[in-house]
Every structure is written in structure tokens, then in C-alpha cells.
Structure 1
């Protein structure tokens, strides 16, 4: 049974990490939908820096788990798909139509950042798994 689960694991990494990323977005960013008006009349938000930092730190754990087990591609694709879908859903009610630029930015940024982090994690943990065999 364990061998069967191990063979199935690479196929589950992408959907599981996409679901984790989507859930993390909802937990950290999904509840804050209003912009803050500053005393000078300018607006900020709707997200505070601590919310985005919390999202990134939350996603580091599943990305580390997948990349350290030689599923770096799944970590990159799953996280990118989850964040892109979440951004699209969250921002699609924007009447200006510019939300697609933001969604594209989230997609490219999460793809690049997750690829770099996964590459570093995969190289740093490569020897750990080779010694176990």
C-alpha cells in the first residue's frame, strides 16, 4: 500500500498545493476587501504588508515539503495555479478590467519566486535523500 501511495504522490502534488495556496489566499487576503483612506486623501490597500508576508510564510512549508521530496515542479506549478486562481476570483469584480494585469503579475511573480525557492530547496536537500538509500 505504501509503494502505491508513493507512486501516486507526484500526481497529487500539483492539485494539493493548488488547494493549499487557494486556501492560504482566502485565509490571509480574502477577508480584507476595503481600501484604507489616509488623512491626506490617498488610499492604500486593500492588503497590508503583514498579510502578504503571512501568506508567503504559510506557503513556504508546503513548498519546502514538496521540493525536498523531489517534487519541485509540482511545488512550482501547484502554488502558481492556486495563487493565480485565487487572485482571479478575488479581483474579477473590478469594473475597470485592469484586474487581469494584477492576475498576470501574481502568476509571473509566484512562478518565478516559487521556482527559485524550490530550486534552492531541492539542491540543498538533494544529498539528504541520496544518503538514505
Structure 2
């Protein structure tokens, strides 16, 4: 089976972004599995606010870079697939099966957030012409 170069060129950015998403999950959240019991008996965790914020900042940088390089589909798809896969693997030890609710929420949230960020980046003015567009300055 041979993959055509245009297909491969389209897949590489998505695979890179997905890899960044999985690695970011592992670095920020994957190592922390302990819930904390508070003095009043309430339970929190396993993640702290700073861990989730670090994950968001890391993914924001990856999505912005990919979208700025005009790989919007890769930014959205790679982030969504990477985070969904990481959440599934990390949380699948829950015997109740309720972890799938969280996985679906991660999938929906990462899709919406990365799509919004990609759309914002796409709407920003650029100094250079976009791929496939005629340079209007050269026509004058």
C-alpha cells in the first residue's frame, strides 16, 4: 500500500499535533492519579488547577502554531484525537464505565476550543498572501 505525497503532507501536521496533545496530557496530567480527601470529607482531584492550566497553555501553543501555518484541520483534528485518546487510556481503568462520559466531554470540549482558536487565528490579518491566492500587489 502506497500513500500519495499530498495525503502524507496532509497527515503529518495532524499526527504531530496529536502527538503533542498525547505528550502534553502525559506530562501535565498522566502522572497524577491520587484524589485528595479534605478535612470536611469532600474529595477533590486528581488534577490541580495548575496542571490543567499547563495542559491548556501547551495545547493552545500547538493549535496556534498549526493554524498560523494554515493547518487548521490538523490543529482541530489532531488536538481532538490526541486528547480523546489520552483521556480514554488514562481513565479506562474505571470499572463502572462512567469514564466514557468524561472522555466524550474531553472530545467535545477539545474540538470546540481548538476550532474556535483556529477560526480566530484564521481571521487575523496577514502580511503574506495565503496559499492559493493571487498576490494583488503584483497585479498593480
| TM-score (normalised: structure 2) | 0.84
Consecutive unaligned residues of structure 1, counting only runs of 5 or more, are: none
Q: CA deviation at 1:129?
A: 2.9
Name the CA distance, whole Å, in 2 between partners of 1:86 and 1:128. Answer: 37
Bigger Rg, which one: 2
Tell me which residue corresponds to 1:26. 26
CA distance in 2, matches of 1:121, 1:99: 33
CA RMSD of aligned residues (A): 2.0
Q: How does 1:1-133 map to 2 (within 5 A)?
A: 9-125=9-125, 127-130=126-129
C-alpha distance in 1 between matches for 2:103 and 2:76: 17
TM-score (norm 1): 0.89
Tell me the alpha carbon deviations over residues 99-121 of structure 1, each in whole angstroms, 9 at most, x when there is no partner: 00000000000000000011101
The gaps in structure 2 that reach 5 residues or longer are 136-140
Q: Give aligned pairs, total.
A: 128
Q: Which has the higher helix share?
A: 1
Deviates more, 1:62-71 or 1:101-110: 62-71
For the residues of structure 1 that align with 2:7 and 2:110, how far apart are their CA atoms? 27
Separation in 1 of the partners of 2:127 and 2:95?
Answer: 51
